[in-house]
Amino acid sequence: MSKSITFFFPHNPYPARSGGHQRCLEMLSAFRDLGCSVSLLSSTLWTDQAWSDEAIRALEARYVRSVRIWKPTATDLELRALDKERRPNPPLADKVWAPPALVEWVAKEIAALCPDALVMSYPFWDVLYSKEARADRRTIIDIHEIASMQVPLEALLWEQIGSLPLSLTSMQPSLIDELQFAAQPLTVDGEEMSLYNQYDCTIAISLREREVISAHCPDTTGLYIPATYTPAERPLSCSGRPLFPVGPNPLNLQAYAFFVVKVLPHILGVDDRFELCVSGHWSKTHLFDASGITLLGFVPDLDTLYENTSYLVTPVLGGTGQQVKIVEAMARGLPVVAWHSVQGNSPIVHGENGLIAHSPEEFAEHIVRLETDPAFRRRLGHTAWETVKDSFSRRHFLEELQKAL
């Protein structure tokens, strides 16, 4: 398959510091392995980590034919700021996300590149691909979550968090109420579904999202392509300390506060030597210290980090999409303890390859068992490794992505 692809991603994905970055790199490498020639379009306007010559060189050496970046002028930034002030909650695919100068730049790039297919990440930037650009081309959108469900959820959490860094005194008590998501059902937005319906193919990262797409978008082909990882040659020994990798979003801040306040006291009551390592850039900038917690910050060498990890802890209470870190850990042979919100969006089967908790007390009980029963820990980890090897393989990813093309 020799197809040329124009792929828009709003951030610099290299090195990967979030699940979104990892997903982007996974898609780019998969297109490469399918024999496609990819041109990556991006911008400095929204990127969550700065673009650098080093990142561009690495991407062009390992993933894509070319990286092309739009840089806004001072006037572009002023106009966007004014528009955001007038409309603090803009709709999907609005000019706040994609100002006219960016739309014009993308149109020129597509005209110059003449790709066979257009790939979009996130619905917010859908307006970048005009009707003329889509004509006679395959169009694909890779969705990381249902935006109209996720955005209100994150807005609610930021309100409850209050100020940064996260603080027990400034956050609202409702932030760590594990029942609040069940009490606030989120509905699917018709505008977003209509947007997906205009693509030939919509790729969902979880079964739940694929089911939503299939139910509401009859004119697009919905594909379920979860995050995959090449499993380690052999599962890790599951020795060392447990790890909670914190991603750059409010769901992870909420998860940390929930764990420290509601779960950790139960663990320390049984084992006062317990220590949980928390990694990720935000762990040093956005979190507070607590007894039983070691904040590591961003760790570039994931191999060494996981080799010294006994199991993964992910107390994320809600949200859509897939927790990529779960699959990454399982691919290395590490068991995962997670909140029941991941059911349907992750490969965890309780008691077989990981543990699912339905209450803070149960979460603590699972951790205490893993701490005190290394044989059980290793058995779960080995089964987790086999799960990824059998059902979340690179081969499966490539087969499904080929259908999109």
CA separation for the pair 263, 245 (Å, rounded): 17
Please tell me the predicted confidence (pLDDT) of residue 197: 96
Would you say residue 5 has pLDDT above 60?
yes
What are the distances in angstroms from CA 231 to CA 13, 24, 299, 386, 388? 22, 19, 20, 8, 7
Domain boundaries of the chain, sorted by first residue: 4-226+394-404, 241-391
pLDDT in tens, 376-400: 999 999 999 999 988 887 888 999 9
Query: To the nearest whole number, what is the mean pLDDT of the chain?
Result: 92
Would you say residue 206 has pLDDT above 90?
no
Please tell me the predicted confidence (pLDDT) of residue 386: 95
pLDDT over 70 for what percent of the chain? 94
pLDDT in tens, 348-379: 999 999 999 999 999 999 999 999 999 999 99
Please tell me the predicted confidence (pLDDT) of residue 95: 66
Residue 144, class by beta-carbon neighbours within 10 Å (0-12 exposed, 13-18 middle, 19+ buried)?
A: buried
**Window from 116-120, 122-126, 151-155 with minimum mean pLDDT:** 151-155
Would you say residue 183 has pLDDT above 60?
no
Would you say residue 89 has pLDDT above 70?
no
Would you say residue 254 has pLDDT above 60?
yes
pLDDT in tens, 161-175: 999 999 999 999 999
Please tell me the predicted confidence (pLDDT) of residue 248: 87
Provide the β-strand partners of residue 68: 41
CA separation for the pair 331, 327 (Å, rounded): 6
Return the closest-CA partner of residue 205 out of 3, 9, 392.
Answer: 392
Q: Are 341 and 178 in contact (CB under 8 A)?
A: no
Q: How confident is the model at residue 59 (pLDDT cuts 50, 70, 90)?
A: very high
4-226+394-404 CATH? 3.40.50.2000
Q: How confident is the model at residue 404 (pLDDT cuts 50, 70, 90)?
A: very high
φ, ψ of residue 273 in degrees (nearest 5): -100, 0
Please tell me the predicted confidence (pLDDT) of residue 88: 61
Would you say residue 12 has pLDDT above 90?
yes
Please tell me the predicted confidence (pLDDT) of residue 257: 98
**241-391, what's its fold?**
Rossmann fold (3.40.50)
Please tell me the predicted confidence (pLDDT) of residue 184: 56
Question: 165 preceded by cis ω (within 30°)?
Answer: yes
Q: How confident is the model at residue 207 (pLDDT cuts 50, 70, 90)?
A: confident
Q: Does 118 or 94 have the greater pLDDT score?
A: 118
Containing 371, the helix (H) or strand (E) segment is helix 360-372
Please tell me the predicted confidence (pLDDT) of residue 38: 98
pLDDT over 90 for what percent of the chain? 72
Q: How confident is the model at residue 188 (pLDDT cuts 50, 70, 90)?
A: confident
What tokens appear for 345 in the block? 């969006």
Question: How much is the pTM?
Answer: 0.84
Return the closest-CA partner of residue 364 out of 265, 276, 293.
Answer: 265
